[in-house]
Amino acid sequence: MKSQGSVPHRFQEVRPVSSRLPRHVRIAIVGAGFAGLGMAIRLRQEGIDDFIILERADEVGGVWRDNVYPGCACDVQSLLYSFSFAPNPGWSRAYAPAWEIQAYLLDCVRRFHLEPFLRFGHAVLSAKWDVTARRWVLETPHGVLTADVFVAAVGTLSEPVIPPLPGLERFRGKVMHSARWDVSYALAGRQVGVVGTGASAAQIVPAIQPEVGRLVLFQRTPAWVLPRGDKPNSALRKALYRWVPGARWLLREALRILRDGLALGFQHPWIFRFAQRGVLWHMLKGVKDPSLRDRLTPRYTMGCKRILVSDDYLPALTRPNVQVVTAPIREVREDAVVTGDGAVHPVDTLIFGTGFQATDMPLGHHLQGRDGRTLAQVWAGSPRAFLGTTVSGFPNLFLLEGPHTTLGHTSVLLMMEAQVEHVLGALRYLEARGAAAVEPDPRAQDAFVRDLEARLSRSVWSQGGCRSWYMDASGRNSALWPGSTTAFRHRVEHFEPSDYVTLPRAGVPLTLRP
């Protein structure tokens, strides 16, 4: 069986021109996923070539390199889930499969000649702000380099989480997380247990259901599911995108505006409560078994947890070889999962679609700011940043996809592009001012965070009756932006010097000044 997420051909790999690590660069970008590559492309378009991209893996792509599970695809339309400054008229479907998004990123590397700037296998082991030289010192397995500006483009969905289930270590079968899929492992005829009912599981389950012998879905919380409406792009549509760029732009803008409209429901929960009765009827009309329908009915306001988009997830759960189990997992045995009701579920394969360390950036434990504290110590388990992009006490550090930049309704690339323009504005300001660095004024950062917290307290994520992965260890929603991408762009895209303090170049007495 070949699922939609299967790779239909071998990629032509991207290879860096050099493995040599320079002693110093103007800008160090960490991460070669969408954010890092987007930053690099815009730097090149602005005529800036003094930068490097440090990537711990052996290829670009980030989550689209790592996620190769069956059925893997984007849940935002391809036209919107691509760079506005690097359009692709040749998308095969309305919603691109993962392999095609990865191919797009590889094409971007070649199109914008990024190979000379890439360094694979260069994880950042530590990053420290040198208060004397007023630059970043980055340690990698292949040496040390310094950089005036540090752009952390490591993403929020890079470190998988597998829950510490009692007895998991003694399980004799195969264990896989959706982001660490073993493509050599054959699922045909297997007795498979899937743990989790998020976006990854909603793609994996219908993709593998026809080939496995039996599938047990261990569901903690049912999801709200909206229809996807995916379909292939016709030759005529592709020709229109290629030869009439205005048509592509208009459709992209229409999709952006339509999806941005959904932000109102997240900000004002009554809107979703009003709509969810009809959504629920449409969602479960194909589920004839009353018991199964009850198990799949959410008891929280739509939008409180991530809304899934799928045409085949719920139908797959009605198949004879699928069982939906809602009792909590009590323990894992050598060849089975035991749930809290005492039921024993024999399995030889366990698949975890249990998400990522979304609110705990691992790099933060190794990133040391102006006062010697790490970012993790400053955040203390609850990330805070100005405009989701900069952090007081960390000069010339720019976070792409930082706190409060995740979305529940549209393409995160729209947020990312606004952040990239903010970084470019800061670079222009530093150049014009002849300064060493900028960092946000703590008063501006505090005001921004307080405003977000007030808005989030009225949102569906706080008022919807659920607890989601958007919440950090302290119970704060430090992941999401409570508004439209249009509002974010207007707030973030322009670099406003009055929101920042400036550090003079080395040799000038250090006095933070607005």
Q: What is the DSSP string of 70-103?
A: TT-B-SS-TTTSS-TTS--TT-SBSS-BHHHHHH
Domain boundaries in the chain? 24-159+357-504, 168-223+269-352
Choosing among 3.40.50.300, 3.30.1490.20, 3.60.15.10, 3.50.50.60, the CATH entry for 168-223+269-352 is 3.50.50.60
**Are 443 and 424 in contact, with CB atoms under 8 Å apart?**
no
Global pTM reads 0.93
Closest by Cα among 282, 295, 268 to 464: 268
Closest by Cα among 227, 219, 26, 250 to 117: 26
Please give the order of strands across the beta sheet that includes 329-332.
Answer: 329-332, 336-339, 344-346
The answer to whether the 24-159+357-504 and 168-223+269-352 domains have the same CATH topology is: yes
Residue type, 67: N
pLDDT digits (tens, 9 = 90+) for 449-495: 999 999 999 999 999 999 887 888 888 999 999 999 999 999 999 99
Q: What are phi and psi of 265, to 5 degrees?
A: -65, -35
- Model confidence band, residue 508 (pLDDT cutoffs 50, 70, 90): low
What is the arithmetic mean of pLDDT over 294-310? Answer: 96
What is the arithmetic mean of pLDDT over 361-373? Answer: 93
Q: What is the 3-state secondary structure (H, E, C) of 285-347?
A: CCCCCHHHHHHCCCCCCCCCCCCEECCCHHHHHCCCCEEEECCCEEEECCCEEEECCCCEEEC
Topology adopted by domain 24-159+357-504: FAD/NAD(P)-binding domain (3.50.50)
- Model confidence band, residue 510 (pLDDT cutoffs 50, 70, 90): very low
pLDDT digits (tens, 9 = 90+) for 91-128: 999 999 999 999 999 999 999 999 999 999 999 999 99
Helix, strand, coil shares of the chain, percent, nearest 5, are 35, 20, 45
| Length of the chain as a residue count | 514
How far apart are alpha carbons 400 and 416 in whole angstroms? 6
